[in-house]
Each structure stands twice: as C-alpha cells, then as structure tokens.
Amino acid sequence: MGRLIILTGPSCAGKSPLCRALARLHPEMYRMLGKVVLYNCRAPRIGEIDGKDYHFAAREQVEQYIKNDSFPGMDVRGDLQALDIHSLARDLEKSDMLYEGNPYIAEKMISHSLLREFGTLGIFLSPLSCEEMRFIHAVDTIEPASYITEIMRKKLLRRMRKHKGELSLPDLQEIERRAGTAYNELTMAHRFGHIIVNHDGEDSENWNAFYYPLGDARLALTAFVKLLKAEPCATEHWGDEPWT
C-alpha cells in the first residue's frame, strides 16, 4: 500500500517550487509519487493541463459530485473543488500519492473514513515559525490576522508581478482573497504533523537563481526529502494555539 503524502500551506508559501525542486534534483524520488488531481470549476490558467493540474469541469458538474460522500469538496477562494476518494484509494493501493494544495481539501482527506487504512504523511509549509507567531500575538500594537495578511499580500504581489508584470483589478482581487485566508490556514497547521518553516515563498529567487536552492528554500527541500525517506528531520510541531 502507498502513503498519502500531503504538502499544504497558505498560497505562496512555496509548495509549487518545492515540488519542482524535488522533481529537478531528486527525479527518481519524484517519479515514484503519483499526483492527486482534484476537480475544479474554474477555467484552466495559462500552462495548466486538464487531467494533470486539475480535472476542469463546469461548476454545476462539480456541485453534483460533492453531493456524494465519496466526493468531498468545498469552495476554496471562489473555486469549487472536489476529490474523487474512490479513485484516490485505488491509486494508493499501487503507489504513494502526493497532494500539493490548500489546507481545506487536505483536512478533508486526512479525516475521510475511506482513507484511514492508508498511511499519511502530513507536511505543512509555513511562512512563519512558531516563535514568530508567538511574537505577533504578544505585541499589543499588532492585530495578528491583519499583520499576516499584509505579509502574504506582499509575497503574492511579488509573485504575480514576476509572472505577469502589470496587474489588473481581477489580479489584485485574487491576491486579496488568497492573502486574506492565510491566518486561518496557519491556525490549521498543527493538524498536519510536520511543519516546515520556509520564509522563501514562491516569490523568492532562492529557488532558481542558481542550480541549487539557497536559504530556507534549500532547508525546506532537505527536510522534504528526509520526510519522504522516513528519516529523522528537525521540523516544528505546533499545538492548536502554539502562540499562547
């Protein structure tokens, strides 16, 4: 039987470049991982491939899927997403499967009864450490949710400017949606076991300015590889409110 490997965290935490770094520098390991592909009601973005990045479908079709208990789903920042649990269970009987995405669907995976017989490796990629979370909550002049929203807003702006240059109003609205959910997503971190602290988000040049990642990007990749190999690894483990 395979393991369900969950790599989750807020938008722009660095999940996608971490997977790309694994594929580039540890191709034999990456090839052993199947990919969990969700249904999504939105249209494909530039470069996305139907069946590889998502199964793109009409919103009405996805709404019908999630009426069935074997298709857990929810609205994620305006996108209705659903997962075919039976298909995933069949895949897990043959190989390890990697889910890289938002914590909301990830939480539904780890709690679903049909997946409990499979081993699960939960990894949360956090843009802040536990100590930083405690600091933010201890300072009277800081409103934690707003502060974290601003941190992620700047990361998301840098990422989107790198990809698109000039930004449109819909681009800015999308950034606000993603940044605004970051605080709640960080409060879910403890549910996934291993927390890798990574200040080099998807906006950072440390992923690809040189052949090997640098800084926290390199440390995150090293930790990810060790966890996949089931080797001892220095990750953080948070309680449900680690900042109290």
Q: Judge contact between 212 and 205, C-beta under 8 A.
A: no
Q: Is residue 237 part of a domain?
A: no
SS (H, E, C) 158-185: HHHHHHHCCCCHHHHHHHHHHHHCHHHH
Q: Which residue has the tokens 């605080």?
A: 183
Lowest mean pLDDT among 45-59, 84-98, 129-143: 45-59
What pLDDT score was predicted for residue 9?
A: 97
What type of residue is 132? E
Residues 121 and 184 in one domain: yes
Express each pLDDT in 110-124 by its tens digit.
888 888 889 999 999
Per-residue pLDDT tens for 77-104? 888 999 999 999 999 999 999 999 999 9
196: CATH? 3.40.50.300
Question: Mean per-residue pLDDT for 216-229?
Answer: 97
Tally of domains in the chain: 2
| Full residue range of the structural domain in which residue 46 is found | 37-82
Q: Which of 11-20, 64-73, 184-193 has the lowest mean pLDDT?
A: 64-73
- Tokens 């934690």 correspond to what residue? 144
pTM, two decimals, is 0.93
Is the pLDDT at 48 greater than 90, yes or no?
no
CATH number at residue 58: 3.30.63.10
In a domain, 242, yes or no: no
